[in-house]
Amino acid sequence: MLKGKTALVTGSTSGIGLGIAQSLAAQGANVLLNGFGEVDTAKAQVAAAGQAHGITVDYHDADMSKPQEIEAMMAFAAQRFGHIDILVNNAGIQHVAAIQDFPTAKWDAILAINLSSAFHTSRLALPAMQKANWGRIINVASVHGLVGSAQKSAYVAAKHGIVGLTKVTALENATTGVTCNAICPGWVLTPLVQKQVDDKAQALGISVEAATEKLLGEKEPSMQFTTPEELGALAIFLCSPAANNVRGVAWNMDGGWAAQ
Ligand code: NAD
């Protein structure tokens, strides 16, 4: 379905971004990966997912907290692939602390990576999408773009912000073939959440299994993690012709979290 298209997925060396990149590759899209850590493994996994379509997979190491590096990545993408058709703003970090104890550097980093980076990639990707009259911007927000949780001030502020950015991006392009939507996962068992489980186990002196049950039980009525594969399937739907008129939504996949 996406053969001939090129997707940039920020923060795609791990977790949800890697899952979405694999799903896009399996539909035939070329993929530009970004993020830190296990780059070669991620590249191999995404290439394997798109092998049947002979896709091209490449990588750029831009730090999404740095606008100049984002500009360099977008210039690289244009030179390597022509232009980006599908932009998935996914890179994100978390820090958990009460407001009065929240390190200001962490606040700045979370706002930069989880919110401002999406503004920078979007402003740089939109002109070519508008010219082609086709484009998909998918912002990986969170159920924390819709509701709050204590101890997560920067994350909740950034995620509510990206839901707002999603609506404005959708409205500014509403009469074109460029759509913008947000995906709002509940708990997904990635390294970002595993750290919160491990911290909970340590703080309460309980096993990791008990901490996992507690984490799900506090927020997610289904008592199940959403998977990167399920989020990838939602991203594919948003890229499909059936989603041509889905614009500016914040679509939660959260096991009933926000329904409470
Ligand atoms: P993860 O830690 O597995 O992956 C984060 C990715 O972002 C990695 O590839 C990492 O290298 C990259 N990254 C981090 N800082 C970066 C930077 N400065 N520049 C470039 N890349 C950077 O986490 P995840 O759970 O897969 O999270 C992905 C997105 O999904 C985030 O935006 C997160 O807020 C969101 N989300 C996660 C959950 C969850 O339960 N895991 C729920 C809702 C939303």
Q: Which two tokens stand for residue 238?
A: 């948003």
Supply the pLDDT for residue 164. 99
d(Cα 218, Cα 150) in Å, to the nearest integer? 12
Nearest CA to ligand 1 atom 32: 92
- Give the active site residue among 59, 81, 107, 155: 155
For residue 63, the CA-to-ligand 1 centroid distance in Å is 13
Supply the pLDDT for residue 192. 87
For residue 96, the CA-to-ligand 1 centroid distance in Å is 15
For residue 11, the CA-to-ligand 1 centroid distance in Å is 6
Mutate which of 38, 190, 212, 215 for ligand 1 pocket (most atoms within 8 A of beta carbon): 190
**Domain residue ranges in the chain:** 6-186+227-259, 189-225
3-state secondary structure the chain: CCCCCEEEECCCCCHHHHHHHHHHHHCCCEEEEECCCCHHHHHHHHHHHCHHHCCCEEEECCCCCCHHHHHHHHHHHHHHHCCCCEEEECCCCCCCECHHHCCHHHHHHHHHHHHHHHHHHHHHHHHHHHHHCCEEEEEECCHHHCCCCCCEHHHHHHHHHHHHHHHHHHHHCCCCCEEEEEEEECCECCHHHHHHHHHHHHHHCCCHHHHHHHHHHHHCCCCCCECHHHHHHHHHHHHCHHHCCCCCCEEEECCCHHHC
Average pLDDT over residues 225-235: 98
What digits encode the pLDDT tens for the residues 4-61?
999 999 999 999 999 999 999 999 999 999 999 999 999 999 999 999 999 999 999 9
Across all residues in the chain, what is the average pLDDT?
97
For residue 94, the CA-to-ligand 1 centroid distance in Å is 8
- CB-ligand 1 contact for 205 (6 Å cutoff): no
Percent of the chain with pLDDT over 70: 100
- CB-ligand 1 contact for 232 (6 Å cutoff): no
Contact between residue 70 and residue 124 where contact means Cβ atoms under 8 Å apart: yes
Residue 217 has a CB neighbour count (10 Å cut-off) of 10
Q: Which two tokens stand for residue 93?
A: 């970090």
Strand partners of residue 181: 138
Decide: residue 52, CB within 10 A, 0-12 exposed, 13-18 middle, 19+ buried. Answer: exposed
Mutate which of 90, 113, 138 for ligand 1 pocket (most atoms within 8 A of beta carbon): 90
What digits encode the pLDDT tens for the residues 206-219?
999 999 999 999 99
Average pLDDT over residues 78-101: 97
- CB-ligand 1 contact for 145 (6 Å cutoff): no
Strand partners of residue 58: 32
For residue 131, the CA-to-ligand 1 centroid distance in Å is 30
Cβ-based neighbours of 213, under 8 Å, separated by 6 or more: 223
Decide: residue 98, CB within 10 A, 0-12 exposed, 13-18 middle, 19+ buried. Answer: exposed
What digits encode the pLDDT tens for the residues 96-153?
999 999 999 999 999 999 999 999 999 999 999 999 999 999 999 999 999 999 999 9
What's the CATH code, domain 6-186+227-259?
A: 3.40.50.720
- Can 155 be counted among the known catalytic residues? yes
Q: Is the pTM of this model over 0.85?
A: yes
Mutate which of 59, 117, 192 for ligand 1 pocket (most atoms within 8 A of beta carbon): 192
